[in-house]
Amino acid sequence: MIEVRVSVAIAASAERVWSMGGFDFLPRWLNMVISSELSDGGRVRRLVTSNGATIVERLLEFSQTEHRYSYAHLDSPDPVSGYVGVMSVRDEEGGAVATWSSSFSPIGISPTEAIARYETVYREGLAALKQLIEQG
């Protein structure tokens, strides 16, 4: 298993950042996701990406007080297995820090390539979240 972690400082409270980070909220700030549909009582999300791919993920853990949730891929075109992701936000002096991390095993691609793919998505997504909150 390999791990990827990207964090960004945001000039807002953790509570404010967290209000944009619900399990069903990716289309609000992640440009590559155009829709998210919940099922199974809100525990499963079906994401449709801008290139038409579908990703199905299950919510594993959700903590409103800790501003953290984890999820796992159920079905994805990504060349990885055992994917578990975590979104979290914590207060930091002068604002908050949002972190997106995951662990997984690459399939058919090198660990370096897999890490680069996910780091790019996480970095771009968190930058968009930061911009939305700080300028919105």
How many independent structural domains does the chain possess?
A: 1
Tens-digit pLDDT profile for residues 54-76: 999 999 999 999 999 999 999 99
**How many Å apart are CA 35 and CA 48, to the nearest integer?**
5
- pTM recorded for the entire structure: 0.94
What is Dmax (Cα atoms) for the chain? 43
Residue 21 sits in which domain range? Answer: 2-135
pLDDT 10s digits, 45-55: 999 999 999 99
C-beta of residue 32 within 8 angstroms of C-beta of residue 121 = yes
Domain holding 36: CATH number?
Answer: 3.30.530.20
- Token pair belonging to 60: 């594993």
